Structure 1
């Protein structure tokens, strides 16, 4: 049975919660299906300017408006699952690359759940395993009501997409009905079973045993080493640093302002600065460290052009990115990329 909490107060529903990046991707998905943008955004508090703002975030109230308006425009009840399938790791923001270098399949599944909780906190998840089989149960903590099936299918589609590299079969169970035949659902995910009117919304998936990549230059290794060198701060300050890290990792290329992070943490900017100072760091230090880690991952593990990396990390041009990266590491991006190629 789904656990829910009372979140209907105006204050809870208006807190900035998720990146507007997801709304942009959803609007593009709907436009490809022939639904015009103004038809979805009409009578909502979401404007085109907000969608085009790289630093914008949506509240739960706005998410409800968007999904409520779009659901009846979708036409095909599989559309929400298909949209979720487009949310691969990079689509969840640069933080998605943090798990690409993870060579342990069990750890990978755990990290997927962890990052989805941070980047898309609209439903909670309960992860459990028996032998080599994992189960992820979705939990409605917002009392989504009629919108729960739509959001559940989005989550399930994304879990399918980003877990398919290590899992060979998926069994999706939904606690609501479907008017479609099982074959119609399997046409969009041939390696899956779909069961409706089940006791809970959950997916079970056995590991395929296929190895991921084993590369110590991956972001997870870099971040683990960085954390091991951090000072021993107070418990509260340490928790704040971890939360700020996760928030910055969800949008390292955007000018995520201190005021915005403080508001999401329910504290004043001054208090946030004090916590970070107690932990021996600062907002700028954390953001530059994370951008450096993402940049190194791009340079060593991908062939993405330098100007594209600069854009993804929030720099106005390649020259600015090169100057910043040299100040962080003592090397130019080109040098790091050449060294990586020589090692291969």
Structure 2
């Protein structure tokens, strides 16, 4: 691990409410809080303060203790299943799943990346089938299986609103058979010792788009009605949104997005224009949403937020955020702290 990553692991970036919920979950299974918190630099009082944030190192030590004390290797997945959208501090967003299933899948990645920043995620889709691949960015070592199971459980819980089957793959082994795992999620297939830890899930009631759909569109575009061309442009907008959400930083350019969609940059711009938008507009909208989430729900330094969103420095990020919202990142963070300090 390089020095910069080691230093970053001591920066408080994750809400203490997750650790509180986890200790409560483990206590119901006979593991006392003081045993979980041993040598973690955390107290039970700290966990009850929802304005507190934990560092990656504190979370690693907590889960390290939990791994030794667990009697059921499925427990992390079960804990993850308790983390629905409201548990991530996102009350009110869950209803979006019923109106826009694709948006809900993108939201899972967007909000887990901000609220529970222990792993990164890569989102991709083919037609109406989505895949979320988990990426270890913190060198989690022997607690990686525990963290992965928590993420998979939460993804399963949230996405079950719009998906009725899950193909869940883990890059590590298990001592239990598939039937034991399927008791936790009967609509899922569990596979272990795979190349990646990832989940694949089709949207309910929507057949996957044929692999040759793009070719069919090119051949038939001159005879398609206007509404069909609009549908194709709208589909492209949704795909572009998903790709930007999965990687909003510096590599997120028009050329790179077009390459990942296997179309020309010109065709991409034409689709976005037909839908009444542009790549710049979509990217700025998503970066603004990401930035606001970081500012309100985390204590991640402004310089780190700027880097995550593709800005070369904090000044550039501040200037852009003011142009988007009419206020500065610092003001948004101050307002959020005032709200959090207001007695309920």
Shorter-chain TM-score: which interval?
A: 0.5 to 0.7
| Aligned residue in 2 for 1:183 | 179
Deviations 1:60-84 (A, max 9, x none): 1111101101111111000000000
Classify the secondary structure of the residue corresponding to 1:198.
Answer: coil
Classify the secondary structure of the residue corresponding to 2:132.
Answer: strand
Structure 1 residue 316 and structure 2 residue 343: aligned? yes
**1:143-222 to 2 correspondences below 5 Å:** 143-209=139-205
Q: Residues of 2 paired with 1:206 and 1:238: CA distance?
A: 27
**1:66-105 to 2 correspondences below 5 Å:** 66-94=62-90, 96-102=91-97, 103-105=99-101
Which residue of 313, 318, 327 maps to 1:281? 327
Name which of structure 1's ranges 201-210 and 59-68 shifts more when overlaid on structure 2. 201-210
Q: CA deviation at 1:100?
A: 2.5
Deviations 1:267-317 (A, max 9, x none): 9999987775566314586469989xxxxxxxxxxxxxxxxxxx9x65325
Name which of structure 1's ranges 79-88 and 8-17 shifts more when overlaid on structure 2. 8-17
- 1:247 touches 1:261 (CA, 8 Å); kept in 2? no
Name which of structure 1's ranges 98-107 and 193-202 shifts more when overlaid on structure 2. 98-107
Q: Residues of 1 paired with 2:10 and 2:83: CA distance?
A: 25
Structure 1 residue 50 and structure 2 residue 96: aligned? no
Structure 1 residue 247 and structure 2 residue 294: aligned? yes
| Aligned residue in 2 for 1:107 | 103
The TM-score with structure 2 as length reference comes to: 0.66
Deviations 1:163-206 (A, max 9, x none): 00100011111111101011111111111111111111011111
Q: Residues of 1 paired with 2:315 and 2:51: CA distance?
A: 21
- 1:7 touches 1:143 (CA, 8 Å); kept in 2? no
Name which of structure 1's ranges 270-279 and 142-151 shifts more when overlaid on structure 2. 270-279
Q: CA deviation at 1:36?
A: 0.6
Structure 1 residue 20 and structure 2 residue 66: aligned? no
**Residue 263 to residue 34, structure 1, CA distance change in 2 (3 Å):** farther
- 2:306 touches 2:317 (CA, 8 Å); kept in 1? no
- 2:5 touches 2:138 (CA, 8 Å); kept in 1? no
- 2:174 touches 2:192 (CA, 8 Å); kept in 1? yes
- 1:174 touches 1:200 (CA, 8 Å); kept in 2? yes
Q: CA deviation at 1:115?
A: 1.2
Classify the secondary structure of the residue corresponding to 2:35.
Answer: helix
Structure 1: where are the runs of 5+ without partners? 211-231, 292-310, 318-344
Q: Residues of 2 paired with 1:75 and 1:285: CA distance?
A: 47
- 2:162 touches 2:203 (CA, 8 Å); kept in 1? yes
The total of aligned residue pairs comes to: 262
Q: Residues of 1 paired with 2:128 and 2:290: CA distance?
A: 31
Q: Residues of 2 paired with 1:9 and 1:130: CA distance?
A: 34
Q: Residues of 2 paired with 1:14 and 1:276: CA distance?
A: 27
The TM-score with structure 1 as length reference comes to: 0.66
Structure 2: where are the runs of 5+ without partners? 207-279, 308-312
Classify the secondary structure of the residue corresponding to 1:98.
Answer: coil
